[in-house]
């Protein structure tokens, strides 16, 4: 797909040279190299490419981790290199993507083939995967929220299969589906797989146990995005240990090993209810998973 030419009559045109500034309005996301201002230098981000959201009413700039989580407290637009001209318009110098980094997913062939390719791409994504999404000519680093699904509660046509791309909790998000990608309204590129801890948790009263079977009709599930947890193995192991989940599901390491309480469950002395939890890792390399296992099973 050839790049679009900038529109000289449109101040919001998004095709730009290396020196051209991009217009932005409050509420929009963006990505820029942080200037060597006092605040950016203090935060250790001067010269780094950072994603951000320009807060409503131009009250500040919320910097974001790659996972979409907030980075520190909001800073002033000026400290982040966003300037206001005499007409009240805001602009910033956009970042230049690293050489060789894919920005778009090219879908070739006729419309039916493009739809099939788009469906394969969307169905390959999972919660917390990291992607580059291009909307209206601008590319944003985002993460996947939830799993692929069809519109209308799953009753929509297969072309409606899509995913939610998000900058983070309570921040800007957009749903992208097969039809959007096939017709070029959006482009999507997966940049990295998710690293997550899925925590399954159930509460039950001892009196509810029948013939040794624990009731599991209402389990709770929480998913933690570990993309920014550095170093991965050490930080994950420390977290599991802090939660008391130090019992692996196997005596020797295995790719799908999970972690629980040493005694199987924890009894709340106030309510008398039992709590059973298990932590399941996904997206970690075998080396990282082995390191986590070793740290959990070895006394600190």
What is the rounded end-to-end Cα distance, in angstroms, of the chain? 55
pLDDT digits (tens, 9 = 90+) for 141-172: 888 988 899 887 778 888 899 999 988 777 78
User: Which residues have CB under 8 Å from 288's CB, separation 6+?
Assistant: 232, 233
Q: Which CATH architecture has domain 111-192?
A: Roll (2.30)
What is the signed CA dihedral for 77, 78, 81, 87, rounded to 10 degrees?
A: 80
pLDDT tens-digit profile, the chain (300 residues): 333 333 333 333 334 444 467 888 888 888 888 888 888 888 888 878 888 888 887 788 888 876 667 788 889 988 888 988 877 888 888 765 444 444 344 556 688 888 888 888 898 898 888 888 888 778 888 889 888 998 877 788 888 999 999 887 777 888 999 999 998 888 888 888 888 999 988 877 777 776 667 666 567 888 888 877 888 899 999 999 999 999 999 999 988 899 998 887 777 778 788 888 899 998 888 999 999 999 999 865
- List the domain boundaries for the chain: 22-92, 111-192, 196-297
Q: How far apart are CA 300 and CA 279, in angstroms?
A: 20
pTM over 0.75: no
On the CB side of 163, CA atoms within 13 Å amount to 30
Q: What is the pLDDT of residue 134?
A: 85
pLDDT of residue 18: 42
């Amino acid at each position: 797909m050839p790049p679009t030419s900038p529109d000289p009559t449109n101040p919001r045109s998004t095709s730009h040279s290396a020196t051209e500034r991009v217009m932005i309005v409050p509420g929009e996301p963006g990505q820029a190299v942080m200037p060597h201002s006092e605040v950016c230098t203090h935060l250790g981000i001067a010269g780094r490419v950072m994603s951000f959201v320009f807060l409503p009413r131009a009250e500040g700039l919320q910097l974001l981790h790659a996972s979409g989580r907030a980075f520190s407290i909001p800073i002033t637009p000026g400290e982040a290199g966003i300037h206001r001209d005499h007409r009240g318009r805001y602009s910033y110098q956009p970042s230049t993507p690293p050489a060789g980094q894919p920005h778009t997913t090219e879908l070739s062939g006729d419309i039916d083939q493009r739809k099939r390719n788009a469906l394969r791409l969307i169905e390959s994504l999972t919660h917390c995967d990291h992607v580059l999404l291009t909307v209206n000519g601008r590319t944003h680093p985002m993460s996947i929220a939830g799993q692929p699904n069809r519109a209308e509660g799953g009753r929509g046509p297969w072309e409606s299969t899509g995913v939610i791309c998000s900058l983070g909790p309570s921040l800007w998000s957009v749903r992208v589906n097969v039809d959007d990608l096939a017709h070029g309204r959006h482009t999507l590129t997966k940049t990295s797989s998710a690293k997550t801890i899925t925590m399954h948790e159930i509460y039950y009263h001892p009196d509810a146990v029948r013939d040794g079977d624990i009731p599991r009709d209402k389990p709770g599930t929480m998913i933690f995005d570990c993309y920014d947890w550095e170093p991965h193995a050490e930080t994950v192991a420390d977290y599991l240990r802090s939660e008391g989940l130090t019992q692996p599901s196997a005596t020797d390491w295995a790719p799908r090993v999970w972690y629980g309480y040493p005694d199987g469950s924890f009894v709340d002395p106030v309510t008398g209810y039992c709590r059973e939890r298990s932590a399941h890792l996904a997206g970690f390399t075998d080396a990282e998973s082995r390191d986590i296992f070793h740290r959990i099973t070895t006394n600190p």
